[in-house]
Structure 1
Amino acid sequence: MTLTTLLEALERLDEAHLQMLELAAVKKDAIKTNQVDHLIQLLNKESKHMKLIEQLEDERMQAAYAFLQGVGIRSNLNLNLTELSRLVFDPEEKQQLLHMQRKLSGTLQRLQEANTLNQQLLEQALSYIDFSIESMSYYSETEATYHHPAGKTAGVQRSGLFDSRA
């Protein structure tokens, strides 16, 4: 069996990851602009793409097993692309396989960086929301309403949101 089926599976897998990378860029903008409804739609699209990627990964594994059987290896080894390239003796096919490996690896690296950035943006947004809620609920109900100065009892008076004694 030729390497063509495996290379085609790798190409489709790279294209699917590139689509995920585009979704990650759109998701970053949705996070920045606080578009929660759009973000939910994007997460649903990502979920569908992940199912597609799982199917493509299965196809890649089947193509790799078929290639192994084609070169005379009967076991179902789970070899990575570098190990598979050692079994390719045609220099042109070997070069194509290594090129696809570098291309897919680069796409996956960019996708990981985009996902890490989106995760950090979400954590910052949640921290800001938590801080806002905490600062709004800092004063007790009696401190937040007006009381006539003559009616105040002697007690601890806070002049601002932050305790300056700390």
Structure 2
Amino acid sequence: MAALDKLIAVLQQTEQSHREMLALSEIKRQVIVKNDVDQLIALMNKESKFMKQQEPLESERLSAVHELLQERGIKSMLNLNITEISKLIFDPADKQRLLEVQKKLAGTLQELKEINQLNQKLIEQSLMFIDLSMDIFASRPEQDATYQHPADKNGNPGRIGLFDTRA
């Protein structure tokens, strides 16, 4: 298999893998909205496994790029992006295949980035709501909700506990 074909195959595998991650992120968004912490933890564990699966693909990609460079007579171990690599390919059909895979992968990565940003905002809003709720329940009220004559300075100093135990 030629180095270019190997590179395109690795990029396609990477794109498919990121598509799976995108589906997982969609589910994660729904779980965040439902506030299902147990399922969220399970999804985060799946994401962690996904990240570990990306390491061999990245190694294969680097290997294919270096092999392609050597085929083209470049002895250096440059770390080039797809656009730079496409400039080294002179066959229009091969160049088109490479650029199509790049475009597809870039689109998937952009979608993944957007949904992850949305998920991050949802989590931040949930945390802000939880923080506000805790502040409301845990804070001491400034004054009692019952009427107190302004001249009465010896009034109740305020509730100490979370709940009013007076009956």
TM-score w.r.t. the length of structure 2 is: 0.84
Report deviation, 1:138: 2.0
2:117 is the counterpart of 1:120: no
Superposition pairs for residues 1-166 of structure 1, below 5 Å? 1-139=2-140, 153-154=154-155
Cα distance change, pair 101–94 in 1 and its aligned pair in 2 (3 A): same
Post-superposition shift, 1:137? 1.4
* CA drift at 1:156: 8.0
Identical aligned pairs, as a percentage? 46
CA deviation after TM superposition for structure 1 residue 4, in Å: 0.5
SS state at 1:74 partner: coil
Give the superposition deviation at 1:104.
0.5
Aligned mates of 1:6, 1:65 — CA distance in 2: 10
- Partner of 1:96, secondary structure, is helix
How many corresponding residue pairs? 153
Shift of residue 2, structure 1, vs aligned partner: 4.2
TM-score w.r.t. the length of structure 1 is: 0.85
Q: What's the counterpart of residue 160 of structure 1?
A: none
- Measured in 1, the distance between the counterparts of 2:144 and 2:138 equals 11
Structure 1 counterpart SS, 2:110: helix
Once residues 126 and 49 of structure 2 are traced to their aligned partners in structure 1, the CA distance between those partners, rounded to angstroms, is 26
- Tell me how far apart the structure 1 counterparts of residues 11 and 116 of structure 2 sit (CA, whole Å): 22
Would the aligned equivalents of 2:3 and 2:65 in 1 still touch at CA under 8 Å? no
Shift, 1:154, TM fit? 3.8
Higher mean C-alpha deviation, range 131-140 or range 109-118: 131-140
For 1:35 and 1:52, the matched residues in 2 are separated by 26
Secondary structure (helix, strand or coil) at the match of 1:69 reads: helix
**Aligned equivalent of 2:161:** none
* CA gap 1:23/1:108 in 2 versus in 1, 3 angstroms: same
Shift of residue 53 of structure 1? 1.3
CA RMSD of aligned residues (A): 2.5
Rounded Cα–Cα distance in structure 2 between residues aligned with 1:34 and 1:73: 53
